[in-house]
Amino acid sequence: MKIGLTTLLPAVCLTLTSLAQADPFAAADISAGKKLLETNCIACHASSFGGDGSAIYTREDHIVKTAKGLIQQIRNCNTNLGLQWFDTDELNVAAYLNKNYYHLQ
Ligand code: HEC
């Protein structure tokens, strides 16, 4: 069978579309992020929002709206709490939160 441009083009476009919508934190370690969050962050959120505290991410007027905003918020908390996380730690937590709650692209 002869494969022409018309055959290939849709496949190329589909690939580009899925790349464009890729997880912004694809390279991060989600399970490491989960651990960091559980150790350092959740107790306080849970004391204000009840349950496992995750309602803070999904409440109607939640603060985080973009992938960049998510990193910013995590960085603020990290700084305020004096945790001295590395950039990688922030990315891992962002990846975990994004996968489970925010679903930002
Ligand atoms: C001492 C309590 C406390 C601790 C500890 C804490 N947070 Fe928060 N966090 C809050 C409060 C309160 C808010 C809501 C702020 C607001 O509504 O203005 C918040 C908001 C957030 C949000 C935004 C939720 C939204 O509205 O979209 C994220 C993300 C977040 N925290 C992540 C973290 C991370 C990551 C850590 C651990 C490094 C952490 N927090 C530790 C109290 C805390």
* pLDDT per residue rounded down to tens, the chain (105 residues): 666 666 666 665 555 555 556 789 999 999 999 999 999 999 999 999 999 999 999 999 999 999 999 999 999 999 999 999 999 999 999 999 999 999 998
In the prediction, which pLDDT does 15 show?
56
Torsion region of 50: left, alpha or beta (phi above 0 gives left; psi -120 to 50 gives alpha): left
Candidates 41, 86, 93: which one to mutate for ligand 1, based on the most atoms within 8 Å of Cβ? 41
In the prediction, which pLDDT does 22 show?
72
Q: Is 81 in the pocket of ligand 1 (CB under 6 A)?
A: yes
Burial category of 1 from C-beta neighbours within 10 Å (exposed 0-12, middle 13-18, buried 19 and up): exposed
